[in-house]
Amino acid sequence: MQISGSCHCGRIAFEAEGKFGEAIECNCSYCRRQGALLAFVPRDKMKLLTPRDDLKTYYFHRKVIAHHFCDQCGIAPFGEAVTPDGREMAAINLRCVPEIDFSAVRISQYDGAAV
């Protein structure tokens, strides 16, 4: 499935290809406040449609996930990280994808607060 998403004002936009029938809801201090529903794709399956220089990035805790956000509207549409086995991944915030039907998405809880 091909999706398109963006921050609220559109300054950060992307396309991604993958299976988006599942997402995680993380309870870490950042995701809990943000309210994100995250779906993961290999980084090469996500294409940033706007300049990378428009991204602002926040790191916390172990500083392994680049949480990208827009400095105009404040919305965080995706993050990037490298898995322990070396794969580059993108964490798409499905709440930033207008065409997602949340009634068709299986949401799993992830205990990021315990990590």
Cα–Cα distances in Å, from 81 out to 29, 71, 94, 104? 18, 20, 17, 26
Contact (CB, 8 A) for 27 and 113: yes
Q: How many domains does the chain have?
A: 1
pTM above 0.85, yes or no: yes
What pLDDT tens digit does each residue of the chain (115 aa) get?
Answer: 999 999 999 999 999 999 999 999 999 888 899 999 999 999 999 999 999 999 999 998 777 889 999 999 999 999 999 999 999 999 999 999 999 999 999 999 999 888 7
Task: Give the span between the Cα atoms of 22 and 108, in whole angstroms.
Answer: 8
The parent domain of residue 56 ranges over 2-114
Residue 108's CATH number: 2.170.150.70
Angstrom distance (rounded) from CA 74 to CA 65: 18
